[in-house]
Amino acid sequence: MAVFVLDKQKRPLMPCSEKRARLLRERGRAVVHKRYPFTIRLKDRVEGDTQPLRLGIDPGSKTTGLALVREDAEDRHVLCLFELVHRGFQIRKALEQRRAFRRRRRRQNLRYRAPRFNNRTRPKGWLAPSLRHRVDTITAWVNRLTRLAPVTAISQELVRFDTQKLDNPEISGVEYQQGSLLGYEVREYLLEKWGRECAYCGDTDTPLDVEHVVPRAHGGSHRVSNLTLACHACNQGKGNGTLDTFFTTDKGLKKRLKANNLSADARQERVQCELKRPLRDASAVNATRWVLFGALKATGLPVTAGSGGRTKYNRQRLGIPKTHALDAACVGPMDALHHWQVPTLTIKATGRGSYQRTRLTRHGFPRGYLMRQKQVHGFQTGDMVKAIVPTGKKAGIHTGRVAVRKTGRFNIQTEQGAVQGISHKHCLLIQRGDGYGYRLTSSIQPKGGAGQTVA
């Protein structure tokens, strides 16, 4: 992938190749400005000629693709590919845990906490923290890349998912106003849907409980498509387990199925056919697409929007494999895409740490305390380090994100896995932690071999 170049006054110039960057450093004309993404700064040059660069964005719920391309008429030349991994679901989980702790403190026999008035209002355009994180993270990286390269335009895939059509492809007209619970209560709807029998063992003349097929502990929702009816024995036997584990290991279920002359595989297949895929990811994209579009327009650069259908058409017409980063390079109208076989820099949002210095159990009681200072021997959790261990079981060179310990023996998260117990004496700082983890993945080779140009 291309190397970002800054002039003597830290203004962006045209990115160069890795070979040219290496020659500039060897001749003493450039120094390393930043490791991730790799950027050099020239020592003997101010300003320079630039070419039109476009930043393509393919927003996603969990991963967003970014592509920096050089435009030549209707052709595009890929310079850098990025995949930005969000942490919205981690934020959502942390907020739910904090809410559970707060509710327990207020409801149990603890110190008195007066309930707050329910008159708090939300400003116009408010987004949940997990959704706001996606918009802010993408905007932050757009601003960062515009400081490293002379970006002249932005392209965003402005996609909208029809969540009702995802559930029912045949829906049309007034059916959009008639939900699946039209004229039914939830229990009556489930009784009618599942034939008034246990969805797992097939028992009929027994009280039936409302059951979550995908448990809440595994990310299941309260949507009616995730609800079913189960007898008390199956409900207790399944518990918080998954569907596959329940049908393969539960002996009581096998006895009840044998008594009803039913096949376990057939019953499991029936339950899975009735399930519908969750729409959480589609809802997140729908809720943030216009907010992100407004944030990109606020940068002052011209922003164009492309549909998901146009992106897919470009990708299939040119024979390009589907990845988040390559989708970003295919956003909008174009004729050809060249040099797209470059490696992709995966950027994972990790956060800058936590103010919480106490670890809690699942009941909210303290189980451990973290050290008050965040730096140990000049290192902080999240820094990118390079450890050169000369001898011992962990001898070798380990590069990655560090997690500091008070003892001075750190853990390093490398591409091959975590390496524990590395002394701080062997660590060399590469880049200070900025709330992200970086990993460079190999390029995807085309069917015709390396160096092929797709047109």
pLDDT digit of tens for each residue in the chain (455 aa)? 899 999 999 999 999 999 999 999 999 999 999 999 999 999 988 888 889 999 999 999 999 999 999 998 889 999 999 999 999 989 998 898 888 887 777 777 666 666 666 667 788 888 999 999 999 999 999 999 999 999 999 999 987 766 666 676 767 666 666 666 666 667 777 887 888 889 999 888 888 998 898 888 888 888 788 888 999 999 999 988 888 889 988 888 988 888 888 888 888 888 888 776 677 888 888 889 999 999 999 999 999 998 888 888 889 889 999 899 999 999 988 899 999 999 999 999 998 888 888 888 877 788 888 888 889 999 999 999 999 999 989 999 999 999 999 999 999 998 888 999 999 999 999 999 999 999 888 766 544 333 333 33
127 vs 287: CA distance, rounded Å = 8
Cβ atoms of 323 and 344 closer than 8 Å: yes
Cβ atoms of 230 and 202 closer than 8 Å: no
184 vs 356: CA distance, rounded Å = 46
Length of the chain in terms of residues written: 455
Among the listed residues 71, 35, 78, the one whose alpha carbon sits nearest the alpha carbon of residue 327: 78
Among the listed residues 384, 383, 377, 367, the one whose alpha carbon sits nearest the alpha carbon of residue 407: 377
Q: What is the pLDDT of residue 274?
A: 76
- φ, ψ of residue 92 to 5 degrees: the values are -60, -40
Overall pTM surpassing 0.85 (yes/no): no
| Three-class DSSP category at 132 | helix
227 vs 187: CA distance, rounded Å = 10
Q: Dihedral (C-alpha) 18, 20, 21, 26: value to the nearest 10 degrees?
A: 120
5 vs 32: CA distance, rounded Å = 10
Q: What is the pLDDT of residue 125?
A: 84
| Three-class DSSP category at 347 | strand
Residue 349's DSSP bridge partners are 436
Cβ atoms of 83 and 347 closer than 8 Å: yes
327 vs 439: CA distance, rounded Å = 19
Q: What is the pLDDT of residue 177?
A: 66
Encoded amino acid at 315, one letter:
R
Cβ atoms of 313 and 153 closer than 8 Å: no
Q: CA angle, 323 as apex, 304 and 449 as ends, to 5°?
A: 115
Q: What is the pLDDT of residue 109?
A: 63
